[in-house]
A = this chain, B = another copy of it.
Amino acid sequence: MKVPILSEEYQIMIAPQGGGRMKSYRKELWFNTRTRRAFINITGQVEECLKESGVKEGLVLVIAMHITASVFINDDESGLHHDLDVWLEKLAPHEPVSQYRHNNGEDNADAHLKRSIMGREAVVAITDGKLDFGPWERIFYGEFDGRRRKRVLVKVIGE
């Protein structure tokens, strides 16, 4: 599977160095979805956090603080969200809940599995005070066991 790498396209940008002192910033975003499962675009909220932090170079951690939810980066397109939802339900079905041992007074084992596929966190680079994103990257909160208050941690670290 030999592939050409367009090495002439490399770009180098080195941030101003030598004077940086570390800053950090923390915010919680809270959600309460009406449906069991939901995908919510939180890119704008993370951008606000970044602005408030004053960090110009560094990284943002965006983390689902609950183990039945995800933070992930993908496309903001409703057809794809439908496909994702159907696909996750096929790989880790909610019903019958009796198939899972975790469901002992609970019924959310499938949510733990879905979150394992979609991931817990996104780590986003900050360059020149902005989320350093490709053209279609958007940050999503993925809820797999909603209808209760749950939260996402936004932690900004840098200079």
Contact = CB atoms under 8 A, between A and B. Distances in A.
Contact of A101 (B10, B79, B155): B79
Nearest to A149: B6
Contact of A80 (B6, B20, B25, B109): B109
B31 A6 contact: yes
Interface in A14-31: 14-15, 17-31
Using C-beta atoms within 8 Å of the partner chain, give the interface range for chain A.
35 or more
A35 B4 CA distance: 10
A135 to B, nearest CB: 8
B157 A158 contact: yes
Contact of A38 (B3, B19, B119): B3
Interface string A126-153: 0100001111110000010010010101
A66 to B, nearest CB: 5
Interface of A: 1-6, 9-15, 17-35, 38-40, 45, 52-53, 57-59, 61, 63-67, 72-75, 77-84, 87, 91-92, 100-104, 109, 112-113, 115-123, 125, 127, 132-137, 143, 146, 149, 151, 153, 155, 157-159
| 3 A-B pairs closest in CB distance | A65-B134, A79-B101, A20-B22
